[in-house]
Structure 1
Amino acid sequence: MEHSEPSPASPTLADFMPLFLSHETALRTYARAILPDWGSVDDALQEASVTMLEKFDQLHTVDGFLPWAKVILRFKCFAVAAANRRHRPILSEEVLRLIADEAEPLSQQTLLDSRAALDACMQRFSDSHQTLLLAPYAGDGEVKRTAEQAGKTANALYKLIGRLREKLSECVEVKLQQEMT
């Protein structure tokens, strides 16, 4: 009689939420590589999560969650992009597929390393410069409000933000290079 390894138990519905939450950053990053804005990413991820939950019984192993989820998310991103295409110009589906293929190999560890490098580099900036770097993501009109409070034009602030972003990008690249050596 042959001895065989016991097969790992298939994930249960109770495993869905912890798996989804542990991979949400990677999924958001993947969707953002395909879609032009965070609103579209949220729409695609929400639709994908419903489909993932409905089809969760098709997942065979916990380790296979991220690749499986990316396939579902990819199709939802294409659907959201197609819906958006009717309202505003957006890249063709062929270009979106190429972008999705490029984004596919990003591993969870790569994302975690990049996030750690970004966090470390942000700490090198003063509080006011950190606020400026985050202002464009804080909502509509935040840069303009910040400029008015500082007695500067929004254009001058955007130029400063551009220079700060360059420094931040260089810092992150150096940190990531140091980790690889």
Structure 2
Amino acid sequence: MKPSFQSNEEAVTHVQELFLKHIDEIRGFIRAFARNRPLADDVLQETFLTITAKADSFEPGTKFPQWARAIARFKILELSRRDTGRLSFLTEEAIEVLAGENEQPEWDENFEPLEECVEELPASMRKMIDLRYQAGRKPAAIAEQVGWKVEAVYVCLSRARNVLKDCIEGKTTKKA
């Protein structure tokens, strides 16, 4: 039997404590998609508010970071639908794949341009993309592994996503 909360206040306190414990991981996930720090902080705040509002739906004993990232992913997707110019987005499907919510995505012809574009990236960008999205490493761990500053990793990932976006748009426009 899974533990449960005695009250809503207890649930709220618990998820807020977990949020603070995992804030760097959640922020890093959001920063992987946001172009600038203030925007990432806005999405982080919205994620915190949603997590607080949905505290009763969190099941104690389950993995909080995955639950929080799922909520953050929905906040990112909401923002992408409202204001695509402020975020570094591919397509909703590509976001889902890059967000790692699908264990083994089924690559069909819609993702062929993504695979091709990743192969065309400069070696340093491809390495960052592989470490972040294939190996699932956090930017801080990547920075330590490659001997860069964390900010440099964020910049490289952001630039790589922009290059991928432009490349995919170019390849899909040619096919149309």
Task: Give the TM-score normalised by structure 1.
Answer: 0.50
The equivalences for 1:101-180 within 5 A come to 101=100, 103=133, 106=136, 110-111=137-138, 114=141, 117=144, 121=147
**Counterpart residue type for residue 48 of structure 1:** T
In the aligned structure 2, how far is the partner of 1:134 from the partner of 1:26?
15
Q: Does residue 98 of structure 1 match 2:125?
A: no
- Percentage identity across aligned positions? 26
Q: Which segment drifts farther, 32-41 or 51-60?
A: 32-41
In the aligned structure 2, how far is the partner of 1:75 from the partner of 1:105?
22
Shift of 1:88: 7.8
The structure in which a higher percent of residues are helix is 1
Cα gap change, 1:86/1:17 in structure 2, threshold over 3 Å: closer, same or farther?
same
- What is the aligned partner in structure 2 of residue 47 from structure 1? 46
- What is the aligned partner in structure 2 of residue 8 from structure 1? 3
- What is the aligned partner in structure 2 of residue 21 from structure 1? 20
- What is the aligned partner in structure 1 of residue 29 from structure 2? 30
Shift of 1:20: 0.5
Shift of 1:87: 6.3
In the aligned structure 2, how far is the partner of 1:105 from the partner of 1:60?
27
In the aligned structure 2, how far is the partner of 1:88 from the partner of 1:63?
30
Kindly provide the CA deviation profile for residues 6-33 of structure 1, in whole angstroms up to 9, marking residues without a partner as x.
Answer: 5434462221222001111111111122
Shift of 1:55: 0.5
- What is the aligned partner in structure 1 of residue 76 from structure 2? 77
- What is the aligned partner in structure 1 of residue 161 from structure 2? none
Contact 2:31 2:37 in 1 (8 A): yes
SS of the aligned residue for 2:22 comes to helix
Contact 1:35 1:41 in 2 (8 A): yes
Query: Number of paired residues?
Result: 119
Contact 2:3 2:60 in 1 (8 A): yes
In the aligned structure 1, how far is the partner of 2:70 from the partner of 2:21?
17
Give the gaps of 5 or more residues in structure 2. Answer: 102-132, 157-176
Q: Kindly report structure 1 stretches of 4+ aligned residues shifted beyond 6 Å.
A: none
User: Which of 1 and 2 has higher RCO (CA within 8 Å, sep 6+)?
Assistant: 2
Kindly provide the CA deviation profile for residues 143-163 of structure 1, in whole angstroms up to 9, marking residues without a partner as x.
Answer: xxxxxxxxxxxxxxxxxxx9x
**Counterpart residue type for residue 114 of structure 1:** A
Q: Superposition RMSD on alpha carbons, in Å?
A: 3.8
